[in-house]
Amino acid sequence: MANTPAKKPSRIQQRNRKRILDAALEVFSRHGYRGATLDQIADEAGLSKPNILYYFDGKEDIHVSLLNQLMQTWLDPLDAMDPDGEPLSELLAYVHRKLEMSRDFPRESRLFANEILQGAPRMGPHLKSGLKPLFDKKTALIQRWIDAGKLAPVDPRHLVFSIWATTQHYADFDAQVRVLLNGEKSIPDSADSYLDTLFRKLLTP
Amino acid sequence: MANTPAKKPSRIQQRNRKRILDAALEVFSRHGYRGATLDQIADEAGLSKPNILYYFDGKEDIHVSLLNQLMQTWLDPLDAMDPDGEPLSELLAYVHRKLEMSRDFPRESRLFANEILQGAPRMGPHLKSGLKPLFDKKTALIQRWIDAGKLAPVDPRHLVFSIWATTQHYADFDAQVRVLLNGEKSIPDSADSYLDTLFRKLLTP
DNA sequence: GTGGTTCCTGACCGTATGGTCAAATTCAGA
DNA sequence: TCTGAATTTGACCATACGGTCAGGAACCAC
């Protein structure tokens, strides 16, 4: 029913499904899949628990819907890397966009981190079908840039890993970063310039 | 009782507490605190559930014991950075040690990652009392090295963050890395040389 | 061996949690 | 306004889980 909307969803459908997904993002990202409860999500969404089960087939369905919905958003910045652009600035722009996402969507970042940490039990297929092809395509692009002498020679796969790691660290390890930076906002402006320097020095031929 | 061992623990005590902690590390690191069950831990340890509760006061007690025990191990590599050593090689050696830990102790890495991701509910104090002082001490040391012209000028705090992020990424996001590297071992040797290059280029004055 | 301590277990308990359902309420089109 | 479909809910249910307890088994001086 709610899972196979053959017809157009009503206004109430749209509004409530959105409310539920918003609430679920909040709860799942803070407590992980197992730590989140339907009651919490219902409470956060301002709906009753049975009502939530009216819109989704179950806890897992909500979680999967969230992951599916987010996957695209998450990959967009990488996808936006332009083969015809100037290699170094394309990559640095990607770093910047990725850091910006940690700033603007920390919950999404933690949701993914949680899922991957647990071994991606509900996302394995999506990784293979969604992320992998894009990863292969973009690492190949970077390799071409390197072969053309536009970038210093590095392993493109590790390059991408390190971009992800350094940018997402601020969102995923927020609790730690906050303690170590004396409670400042966890992504100070200095992070931007640091990462810019880090990757600029690495990649400049 | 088990929690306040005023007297020396018997041989059986030592053996079984170790078994339990080993099992708990396995289970907690794979499923997170909330996702782990005492039954799983008992099963993994080859002990009955009540027997486990004979040695520990409860699930939380086991988790806290694990975190306490691991904190030291986790900080050792950073602590080993020698103020009297050659700055660049000290830092690169630290990167190398940290990557080695992701290789050798991925479960420990994921245990910490899980805890921090959830907002460090059971480790906040330890971060402040254990990690923070060491972090401050070592970032100050790096700053002195920079001021002495031995390293390129970078923000030491972000430098440490990026070292942690890039090295732990391979353990924490193992499931993702494995997919993207076509199922190879998730920390290939190429990671070592990549990270060496990354930080060498950044830090060489 | 014997007695006391340590270690271990089966059976059980209370609660939390994911999920169901019949009935009530609201909504939208005629 | 009326009517059927969509939406909402209170009351329940079954299970999983953390934890308890009384008593039994194993161990260890003596």
Q: pTM (2 decimals)?
A: 0.93
ipTM beyond cut 0.85: yes
DSSP string, A58-122: SHHHHHHHHHHHHHHHHHHHHHT--TTS-HHHHHHHHHHHHHHHHHH-HHHHHHHHHHHHTT-TT
List of protein residues whose beta carbon is under 7 A from strand D:
A 10, 12-13, 16, 47-51, 54-55; B 11, 36-39, 49-50, 53, 58-60
C-beta atoms of B165 and A161 within 8 A? no
- pLDDT averaged over every residue in chain B: 93
Q: Which CATH number fits domain A9-56: 1.10.10.10, 1.10.10.60, 1.25.40.10, 3.90.110.10?
A: 1.10.10.60
pLDDT tens-place string over residues B153-177: 999 999 999 999 999 999 999 999 9
> What residues contact residue B39 under an 8 Å CB cut-off, 6+ apart?
B49
The Cα B57–Cα B66 span in angstroms is 13
Q: What percent of chain A clears pLDDT 90, i.e. is strictly above it?
A: 87
Predicted confidence band at A124 (pLDDT cuts at 50, 70, 90)? confident
Cβ of B198 within 8 Å of Cβ of A114? The answer is: no
C-alpha–C-alpha distance, residues A144 and A154, integer Å: 12
Task: Give the rounded percent of residues in chain B with a pLDDT score beyond 70.
Answer: 96
CATH 1.10.357.10 domain range(s) in chain B: 59-203
CA B114 to C1' D29, whole Å? 47
| Domain ranges in chain B with CATH number 1.10.10.60 | 9-56
Indicate the CATH number for domain B59-203.
1.10.357.10
Nucleotides of D under 7 A from a protein CB: 6-11, 16-22, 28
